[in-house]
Structure 1
Amino acid sequence: MAFSRRKAMLACALGLTTLPVWAQDYPNRTITMVIPYSAGGPTDAMARMLATAIRPVLGQTMIVENKAGGGSNIGAEYVARAQPDGYTLMLGTSAPLAINQSLYANLKYDPLKSFAPVIQVGYLPNVLLVNPSVPAKNARELIAYTKANPGKVSFASSGSGASSHLAGVMFNMQTGTDILHVPYKGTGPALNDLLGGQVQVAFTDVLSALPFLEAGKLRALAVTSAKRSRALPDVPTLDEQGVKGFDASVFFGVVAPAGTPKPVIAKLNAAFLKVLEDPEIKARLQKQGLEAPAQHTPEALAAYAQAEANKWRAVIKASGAKAD
């Protein structure tokens, strides 16, 4: 088997189009999809839904394995080192696929070179939230309020280097505000203190924000994506409110180890695409606030990850944020 795999990798390197012998009946055993986060979170829930739905499409079981830790780097490194045979995949987010290379000085994988992109599942916009005690009713008013009250407004994040942190950094950079960053160990603790008024502002994903918005416990001033969220159609984007070009979302993508044969990637892409186009799955993902990407090709995911890496590299450099 090892010799056959080496032949497959050599064939890919030489640009040969013949499907390797070992992959002609792919898949013929269980596939593992690694989640670089703990069980119970939004990425884990999404992975389990996709893994269940893809079984009848591929004709094989797909199991979900959580390998949390290191800001998602432990799971990502594991997949980067796995055999490139299509039987070990990762459902990753912006962190391991684009952001971490600029945050961690000693990363043991390259987010853009260690993986073969399979498909972008979608992206989850962040929401600019405020405690009801904040008088601002929109982003413009928050900017004015912050500048009129220097040192009195702070924003919570789920941790240094997280999307919720970097969105706040980008907001400060583009608006000239100086909202103080207060990092927490997770989204839950951050939102708890936002609810309690210990901090006044937070940038968090739509899925986490929805229950508090529906209960009237927090107020949404804007979504941070380029387009409005289908889950919050009445909430305008920051771009609409004068913060031009602002786009801070968490994207989700399935990847395999670099060197996985292209025919195997193509089969996986087609299978995941069929699942994502299923009306029931689409409805469930939309209810969770997930937005569909413009394209589902492996090339589209590669280009999107590269663009995100470039964007966040500039933000991280300007902010001086580090996660080691």
Structure 2
Amino acid sequence: MTTRRFLLACALACTAATPALAQGEAFPSKPINFVVPFPPGGPTDAMARTLAAALTEEIGQSVIVENKAGAGGNIGADGVARAKPDGYTIMFGTSGPLAINKSLYSKITYDPATSFAPIIRVGYLPNILVVNPSVKASNLKELIALDKAQPKSLNYASSGNGASSHLAGVLFNRMAGTSLQHVPYKGTGPALNDLIAGQVQMSFTDILTAMPYIKAGRLKAIGVATEKRSQAMPDIPSIAEQGLPGYDVSVFFGVVAPAGTPPERIARLNSAFVQALQKDKVRSSFAAQGLEAASDQTPEGLARFIKEEMAKWKTVVDASGAKLD
């Protein structure tokens, strides 16, 4: 072989090998965009930033939190669903954009079950049924009896139509046979202010928000709205154990990527998140916020859970009559 032919053969071989090298490149090799579909400063944003810092340590690349708020999380979720499926854009989603909104919003451009590649279910934040101290009921049995003795006399505050604190009451009425009346507010703060003032009788709010008011005696806890008791307040029995088995209302948190993201990159991200969640500073931070760890942290587990939650909340949303544009 002449020198010229030898050099040409080498050049062709190198050219042919280039795509294979590109396909096998280390991941991640650049910063990851971690989308939070809610405004900065809230509990979801705080959890995402805690996770991002721990994940940065695990993968050796910056994990940058980007807040894309609007339409109950739909704007950020839609952006992630349309992003390049290369593992460099992921989302820290909640029950809204990953389950409830599909049934709640009339105009939604993505499907939680098909538009994303699930990575990991991080955990859940339980709701808790709290009442004004003037309500003459200290447990679930007494509260149900009070409602049935005086139908439609008790009302509950929510942070708005279609919020988990609204749908929790719809589900409760269906399962307990009660007639609690819904009073929507523009946010959790105004709802709890009126509850403490006695303008409304109860609320199915999140345990993190309710905890200081319960400890101060300004609100009375009836039951945790998940099947198991909360680690944050273990002395408060669950609604399920008090006579409504299967009643389970919480806000779940999961990480997803755009559909079509390579499985090996999903596996790499899942492994990194599992390690990040085991760090002491992450566990202590999440525990302080009332977050319960998910029992199944596999991508397959999150995929199943999203489908189950979508089906569950579709029934409840349809019963509530709530619909948002």
Tell me the amino acid that sits aligned with residue 245 of structure 1.
Answer: G
Partner of 1:128: 129
Structure 1 residues 231-287: Cα deviation after superposition (integer angstroms, max 9, x where no partner):
110111111111121111110000001111111111110011001111231122122
Partner of 2:117: 116
Distance in 2, matches of 1:147 and 1:321, equals 25
SS at match of 1:252: strand
How many equivalent residue pairs? 307
Change (3 A) 1:192 1:263: same
The answer to whether the Cα contact below 8 Å between 1:153 and 1:180 also exists between their aligned partners in 2 is: yes
Distance in 1, matches of 2:320 and 2:289, equals 31
The answer to whether the Cα contact below 8 Å between 2:227 and 2:241 also exists between their aligned partners in 1 is: no
Change (3 A) 1:133 1:116: same
Partner of 1:291: 292
Structure 1: tracts of 5 or more residues without a match: 1-17
The answer to whether the Cα contact below 8 Å between 2:227 and 2:245 also exists between their aligned partners in 1 is: no
Distance in 2, matches of 1:101 and 1:42, equals 23
Partner of 1:307: 308
**1:19 positional shift:** 8.6
SS at match of 2:241: helix
Q: How does 1:253-292 map to 2 (within 5 A)?
A: 253-292=254-293
The answer to whether the Cα contact below 8 Å between 1:126 and 1:248 also exists between their aligned partners in 2 is: yes
Partner of 1:239: 240
**1:293 positional shift:** 1.3
Over the matched positions of the two proteins, sequence identity in percent amounts to: 58
SS at match of 1:124: strand
Tell me the amino acid that sits aligned with residue 28 of structure 1.
Answer: S
Normalised to the residue count of structure 2, the TM-score between the two structures is: 0.91
The structure with the larger Rg is 2
**1:100 positional shift:** 0.7
Distance in 1, matches of 2:72 and 2:304, equals 23
Q: How does 1:1-324 map to 2 (within 5 A)?
A: 21=22, 24-324=25-325
**1:129 positional shift:** 0.6
Tell me the amino acid that sits aligned with residue 180 of structure 2.
Answer: I
Distance in 2, matches of 1:192 and 1:82, equals 40
Tell me the amino acid that sits aligned with residue 31 of structure 2.
Answer: T
**1:22 positional shift:** 5.1
Structure 2: tracts of 5 or more residues without a match: 1-18
**1:23 positional shift:** 6.2
Structure 1 residues 267-317: Cα deviation after superposition (integer angstroms, max 9, x where no partner):
110011001111231122122111111110000001111111111111112
| Cα RMSD, aligned residues only | 1.4
Change (3 A) 1:19 1:195: farther
Structure 1 residues 192-218: Cα deviation after superposition (integer angstroms, max 9, x where no partner):
111111111100111111111122111
The answer to whether the Cα contact below 8 Å between 2:103 and 2:314 also exists between their aligned partners in 1 is: yes
Distance in 2, matches of 1:289 and 1:106, equals 33
Distance in 2, matches of 1:208 and 1:322, equals 26
Distance in 2, matches of 1:122 and 1:21, equals 35
